[in-house]
Amino acid sequence: MKRTIPIPMGQLLVGLFWIGVAILTFMGIAALPAADPGGLGPATFPKIIAFSLLGLIALYWFQARRDKPVSFFKSEARGSVLKAASLVALAYASAILWERVGALPVLSAVSIIELKWIEGFGWMKSLGVGMTLPIGMWLVFTQLLGVTLPLGLLIWFY
């Protein structure tokens, strides 16, 4: 059966959604000041994320032209849809708990939960990566970049 458009409809709609997110990002940072000479402005990082998102959409659509369409109603696709929904729920939970609980505990918990229960890795690998990655990210942001991350529950130790 010949498709009328080269990209399957599901992948086309997902890509259009993310293009909308990128456009909203560009609209949201339009009022922010431009970068200073010799320094980065507040709009730099969101602009990098939005352009990266547009690049990923182009790659996604290019890949979608080669593959057969994904049906979300077949049993083999249900697991990947559930995995994606679980990752989105984890992202929202981490955003809600970020300030109250703190960056390091939230990153550790999210990493371990994602690796153990969503990806299905063993406990040793989940705990090893789930503790090393957040501590490394904490050190990079606080020590190298000078960005203050929320302490949350760790405020008791300072």
- Structure confidence at residue 3 (pLDDT): 54
Q: For residue 30, give every residue at least 6 positions away whose Cβ sits within 8 Å of its Cβ, in sequence order, or none.
A: none
Question: What domain count does the chain have?
Answer: 2
- Structure confidence at residue 142 (pLDDT): 84
Average confidence (pLDDT) per 10 residues, the chain, 158 residues: 66 86 89 72 82 88 68 55 82 90 91 86 90 90 82 76
Please tell me whether residues 44 and 118 are part of one structural domain: no
Residue 13: domain span: 1-69
Name the maximum alpha-carbon separation found in the chain.
65
- Structure confidence at residue 109 (pLDDT): 92
Q: How far is CA 3 from CA 6, 7, 12, 17, 32, in A?
A: 6, 8, 13, 21, 43
Please tell me whether residues 95 and 150 are part of one structural domain: yes
Tell me which of 47, 69, 91 is where a domain ends: 69
- Structure confidence at residue 5 (pLDDT): 64
Cα torsion 54, 15, 116, 86: sign: positive
Please tell me whether residues 153 and 90 are part of one structural domain: yes
